[in-house]
Structure 1
């Protein structure tokens, strides 16, 4: 399965968000508008080893998967002392599409998952021997998880329940260790706080606006969320995990067992929160992914605990059987999907294909290169971060690429080459029909249409892009905050609440 992930990472073209995070790795920033900086540092490590290649960008995901499996296995080993449960714990992530294959697709979750698991592992060590020093390790890993993705803050209810519900709460509340652990987490997270203090708390406001923006009730977004969990976790594994979590929560809160409380609360709280938000908001495909590895540990532990708690033999056999079915069917599905994307020539899903919908940018880049040579343009302009990221990926610094709007995304970025931009013609690359918007109304730019180019995958046209020659204007890389070229679209009210696939 690791070989499969390595082949997948090396063969498939980068998706747009992956290329976007790769552009971050070229900057020395404490934080970014969209996310904390850890994913940029992960990519920088991979590209230092394997250069700016698909595998280099995605290498951190391969390491993160291995580290995550080790942590899940050791959590289960320490709780159960059962070798079969440990084997199950290692196999369960392989049976989930997101982890068994798509962990090779780099995202902020790639970094958040192993650090979140390491925090849970440290707390399990605390419960194992009641050594308060493990609170310090939990604070370190919790801070690193927050430095990877903001949504891991939803693990805090699980940590709070672990601290407050068991009989030891008075002891730990009076101990300096949990409080020192919290200070360590805050110190590790401080780069994000420093950057935001310098930039009007931009990334916090960005996330806050996304979370509270008013939207209408929709069964469609609810169905999308539930369907996404089935698809990425597994049609059998998802109900197996939810059943195990329910039993774990019942056992933990009934007997005040610390680890059971921690595991169940750390997953069920964010799962139910996302379920509630999905009534009005489309939940992104990676948003809940930090929590399911904790659920896999709960599944393996639950198999052993059922025996220890004296549950009926039929219940135990059924639980074991469904866990095995989840592993076998899940791994088979992961392998089939790998073969479909790596070896098959077909496109069964048309434009809805989640991988194909972001493929084919090399066709756009090739046409852009031709037009640069024909028109004498010295730089590329775009108006969405996806096209910006892919053009930067394919041109690798040979030509300056500028996203002329949403300049808040690029606060603190280095000079992209203004000597090649100022008073020079540019080439505007824009996904149709976005070229008909109001972006250029208040500028002096003159636009000369040059035609369009289509982006296709396995015979299906995914998008069409207009190409235009720009003259008479130099982009302002640092417009004032009230400028329409500065604001990100969430703040400007121009972005639909539904993210693209």
Structure 2
């Protein structure tokens, strides 16, 4: 796509150093990928991938399908599953460096941007585990790069590429809509508006809609369940999300990078040479306002913070080369190294599981990778209490998709049947047959009575112990043996369905 602007082309890309940093991050993630176990969401993705569809009640289809493909190619293990996440993380590191270049950064700024991205908690954390956020982050950064290219060159054809990236992003997570809304609003507010002429924006939007259409059709046909899920997140966690919005913005990236992204915002807003990119400075506060208004999670706004970080690397690189350059370079290198160490400690499986108590208090996702085989062992103990002649009519019912996913993954080695659950899309894959009239073996979190009231003659027969003392959601979960259901499964199933 030929440039139509008189502006000078960006500096050459620092290909070797940037790819070296990305490769180092990928190597570290690969080495650590199997150290703990699956995350509860990963177990759900594996189960969803075995039920391919154009959508699920709580997400589009891309992540479950990637999970299915990864395990088919690389093996059904945490390490095999996480190969796409590792590659996505490496790609984000490269793209953040490319953003620095697009925003006028030279070789030093690009290298610094790659280092900062590689040292940030959000990039390392999403690179370690497969999640919708993993590929959402990649999509947002790529869309921002393509949008900045369109704004710099004035060549509207870049909006077609941005539309394709947005469409693929929508097949992974609907949050991309927030990015599109704030980008369009920001460009219309502060320009350059010339890129909206000629219909390229409309064509890009049409490409995005065409790519995402199958999933939108699925959601419409199923009554828009994603809206129910989003409403549950806002009502359950909205107040906490708003309270923690600013602290988590700082912590998830790195407290030591705050001066860099503040410098990036000021540069985008004030530097006449970057007036074409001024919309990015406005897009970030607009996005923050939207997330706060809707009660969304603080990390929703982090991808645009990476853009500000990339913009700030050029002035920081210039500061490093002025007087006392050695001391300044050492100070910046130390900040990146300390950030990398802190981010790795809280985002990656570096500690032995028994030492996770402090880390788990800050990042509970670490603890959610511990103890799933132990949960299945406890369920196996409960299953052994069922007389052999009754097992053909027995059902295992799990309260949430993490428990059900663990039983789906590890249950066969214990001779356990397929589990059922009313949580999220598991509800669409049930109910048990009418002939399965009991006993029913329930698994539910400690202190929860959401499901037991729907069953009769219940008594606890086992309790989960992850054997590491990790205080995660399933530690001390109860395994309860019930004689049967209060009503036949078809009548009971709607009451067992839940979205959060």
TM-score in same-fold range (> 0.5): yes
Counterpart pick for 1:229 among 249, 265, 282: 249
Q: Does 1:299 align with 2:312?
A: yes
Offset of residue 400 of structure 1: 0.8
Equivalent positions of 1:403-414 (< 5 A) are: 403=421, 405-406=422-423, 409-410=425-426, 412-413=428-429
Distance (Å, rounded) in 1 between the aligned partners of 2:328 and 2:188: 31
Distance 1:185 1:215, change over 3 A: closer
Gaps of 5+ in 1: 490-501
For residues 71-82 of structure 1, the aligned pairs below 5 Å read 71-80=95-104, 82=106
Structure 2 counterpart of 1:43: 67
Query: Which residue of 178, 198, 204 corresponds with 1:181?
Result: 204
Q: Say whether 1:95 aligns with 2:119.
A: yes
2:164 match: secondary structure? helix
Question: How well do the aligned residues superpose, as a CA RMSD in angstroms?
Answer: 3.6
1:35-89 Cα offsets, whole Å, 9 max, x none, are: 2222112212211212221012222110101111222222322332511111112
Flag structure 2 segments of 5+ consecutive residues without an equivalent: 1-24
Q: 1:194 aligns with which of 217, 223, 248?
A: 217
Alignment of 1:399-438 (within 5 A): 399-403=417-421, 405-406=422-423, 409-410=425-426, 412-413=428-429, 418=433, 422-435=436-449, 437=450
User: Out of 39, 46, 50, which is 1:26 matched to?
Assistant: 50
| Offset at residue 136 of structure 1 (A) | 0.5
**Correspondence for 1:379 among 395, 414, 418:** 395
Closer, same or farther: CA 315–475 of 1 in aligned 2, 3 Å: farther
Alignment of 1:336-351 (within 5 A): 336-337=345-346, 341-343=350-352, 345-349=354-358
> Where does 1:473-492 land on structure 2 (aligned, <5 Å)?
473=485, 483-489=494-500
State the TM-score, normalized to the length of structure 1: 0.80
Kindly tell me: are residues 431 and 336 of structure 1, through their superposed partners in 2, closer, same or farther at Cα, counting changes over 3 Å? closer
Aligned CA distance change for structure 1 residues 51 and 142 (closer, same or farther; 3 Å): same
Alignment equivalent of 2:461, drawn from 451, 470, 482: 451
Verify the 8 A CA contact 2:357 2:470 in the aligned structure 1. Answer: no
**2:407 corresponding residue in structure 1:** 391
Which residue pairs with 2:482 in the alignment?
470
| 1:265 aligns with one of 279, 282, 285 | 282
Residues 43, 59 of structure 1: 8 Å contact kept = no
Task: Name 2:143's counterpart in structure 1.
Answer: 119
Distance 1:16 1:163, change over 3 A: same
Tell me if 1:132 matches 2:144. Answer: no
Length-normalised TM-score, structure 2: 0.80
Using the TM superposition, give the Cα deviation of residue 135 of structure 1 relative to its aligned residue in structure 2, in angstroms: 0.9
Secondary structure class of the residue paired with 1:434: coil
CA distance in 1, matches of 2:286, 2:134: 21
**1:428, distance to aligned residue in structure 2 (A):** 1.1
Cα shift at 1:330: 1.0
- Residue in 2 that maps onto 1:370: 381
**Number of the residue aligned with 1:248:** 267
Q: Which whole-Å CA distance do the structure 2 matches of 1:275 and 1:172 have between them? A: 30
